[in-house]
Amino acid sequence: MKHLIDPTDLTKQEIDEIISLAQDIIAHRERYQGSMSHKKLATLFYEPSTRTRLSFTSAMMELGGNVLGFSDARSSSVSKGESVQDTVRVVGCFADVIAMRHHIEGAQLYATEVSTVPIINAGDGSHSHPTQTLTDLLTIQRELGHIDGITIGFCGDLRFGRTVHSLIKALSRYKDIKVILIAPDELKLPDYIKQDVCERTGIPYREVATMEEVMGELDVLYMTRVQKERFLDEDEFDRVKDSFVLDAARMSLAKKKMAVLHPLPRVNEILTEVDADPRAAYFRQVENGKFVREALIVKLHEWKDDPEHGMPVQDEPVYDDTLRCVNPKCICNNEHAPHKFRRGEDDVLRCWYCDSKVR
Ligand code: CP
């Protein structure tokens, strides 16, 4: 069965099909109304959301389907101690597809091991957010007319920014992508993305200290919020929270045809004076999120029982009783998920669920 847990669960061809269908839905919305009638989407949100949950809801409604679920796990039997796996087993009796957001990394992957319906990862901790990635790809395509060949600057919180991690993984499938990383030392991109994605797939990347030195090179500037909720140390958050702010003066250094993306919500990293600039694409990006989620729901339904569209083949997991995942926010340190690992091409072992390096 096809789930979407990580952007690499989709082949490049499948991503192209979803983006192309989303564009057709935008052009011919009436053709798709009713295509999911009598189908149900469950939205299980263990962590707050505005865009992702409501765009999934709106997408399913546009397709003529119905939506059930919770936006606060405390109102469900999770508050009585029900596990993620038991919850999806139960919800699979009521719904045809599940969109789940969880603060615990790897929770959705663990859930797929028992689910009878497709699971869509709507964000797991700092790890991954593949439907935001589809939104971002559609937005870049619509703003610039192409994705191949772009130079993209990621700015702000690249350490905890799951949307950044997922988008870099997806861009590794495209041609001639250049990545520029603009972040303070405390918020640099994790090594596993630099090594396993950029270096392994040959995406050139460089790290810089200021926005000004690269603004003129960028086709896309991807701004991110410094996420207070991910910090274990409040002093560290206070030191970096105002690191990079996009204003009209900095926009004046950019190309005439550049797109500013931001997964939102923003706090203060883009001043509102930028909103009227035609290159500010972040509110158009929100609307694209609804269309691309419509396309994803349609495609997952179409692919559900098609062996041509299964999950990617994985190497066998490595089990070693002497090893433990070191990430306190990983599912295997929060529920009874087994500590298991995958061996990368560099011979490094990483947690099966959250990708944390083991040795
Ligand atoms: N972009 C995004 O994931 O927004 P929400 O947290 O509001 O869903």
pLDDT for position 231: 61
Least confident of 143-152, 198-207, 221-230, 295-304: 221-230
Regarding the beta carbon of 51 and ligand 1, being less than 6 Å apart is answered: yes
Report pLDDT digits (tens) over 108-120: 999 999 999 999 9
Degrees, nearest 5: CA angle 121-125-128? 45
pLDDT at 277 over 90: yes
pLDDT for position 235: 78
Report pLDDT digits (tens) over 46-57: 999 999 999 999
Confidence at 305, pLDDT banded by 50, 70, 90? confident
Regarding the beta carbon of 52 and ligand 1, being less than 6 Å apart is answered: yes
Q: What is the mean pLDDT of residues 2-6?
A: 96
pLDDT at 358 over 90: no
pLDDT for position 233: 74
CA distance 223 to 85: 34
CA distance 297 to 303: 10
Regarding the beta carbon of 264 and ligand 1, being less than 6 Å apart is answered: yes
Q: Whose CA is nearest to atom 5 of ligand 1?
A: 49
Whether omega before 265 lies within 30 degrees of 0, making that bond cis, reads yes
Q: What is the mean pLDDT of residues 159-168?
A: 91
CA–centroid distance, residue 129 to ligand 1 (Å): 9
- Kindly state the DSSP code that residue 47 receives in the 8-state scheme: S
β-partners of residue 342 are 350
Q: What is the mean pLDDT of residues 136-155?
A: 98
Stronger pLDDT, 176 or 232, i.e. the higher one: 176
pLDDT for position 111: 98
Mean pLDDT estimate for the chain: 94
Mutate to test the pocket of ligand 1, among 49, 57, 121 (most ligand atoms within 8 A of CB): 49
Phi, psi dihedral angles at 47 (to 5 degrees): -145, 150
Mutate to test the pocket of ligand 1, among 52, 222, 290 (most ligand atoms within 8 A of CB): 52
Stronger pLDDT, 64 or 232, i.e. the higher one: 64
**Cα–Cα distances in Å, from 26 out to 57, 142, 178, 324?**
17, 11, 29, 47
Percent of the chain with pLDDT over 70: 98
Regarding the beta carbon of 327 and ligand 1, being less than 6 Å apart is answered: no
**Cα–Cα distances in Å, from 202 out to 150, 172, 188, 322?**
15, 8, 19, 34
Nearest to 57 by CA among 83, 86, 76, 36: 36
Residues 238, 264 contacting (CB under 8 angstroms): no
Residues 215, 253 contacting (CB under 8 angstroms): yes
Stronger pLDDT, 293 or 358, i.e. the higher one: 293
Length of the chain: 359
pLDDT at 228 over 80: no
3-state secondary structure of 4: strand
Lookup: tokens for 20? 């192309």
CA–centroid distance, residue 295 to ligand 1 (Å): 18
Lookup: tokens for 322? 């002497």
CA–centroid distance, residue 263 to ligand 1 (Å): 7
CA distance 41 to 57: 8
Regarding the beta carbon of 134 and ligand 1, being less than 6 Å apart is answered: no
pLDDT for position 229: 66
pLDDT for position 345: 72
Residues 158, 181 contacting (CB under 8 angstroms): yes
Regarding the beta carbon of 49 and ligand 1, being less than 6 Å apart is answered: yes
pLDDT at 31 over 70: yes
Tell which atom from ligand 1 comes closest to the C-alpha of 264.
Answer: 1
**Cα–Cα distances in Å, from 357 out to 30, 66, 93, 284?**
48, 40, 36, 37
pLDDT for position 128: 93
DSSP-derived secondary structure for 217-278 = G-SEEEE----GGG-S-HHHHHHHTTS--B-HHHHTTS-SS-EEE--S--SSSB-GGGTTST
Beta-carbon contacts of 41 under 8 Å, excluding residues fewer than 6 positions away, are 56, 57, 60, 65, 66, 67, 68, 69, 95, 96, 97, 98, 99, 297
pLDDT for position 184: 86
pLDDT for position 359: 64
Q: What is the mean pLDDT of residues 308-326?
A: 93
Confidence at 185, pLDDT banded by 50, 70, 90? confident
User: What's the whole-model pTM score?
Assistant: 0.95
pLDDT for position 117: 97
Confidence at 234, pLDDT banded by 50, 70, 90? confident
The neighbour count for residue 264, using CB atoms within 10 Å, is 18
CA distance 217 to 232: 35
Confidence at 240, pLDDT banded by 50, 70, 90? low
CA distance 231 to 246: 23
Q: Whose CA is nearest to atom 3 of ligand 1?
A: 52
Stronger pLDDT, 142 or 185, i.e. the higher one: 142
pLDDT at 232 over 70: no
pLDDT at 186 over 90: no
Residues 130, 4 contacting (CB under 8 angstroms): yes
Lookup: tokens for 44? 């299980």
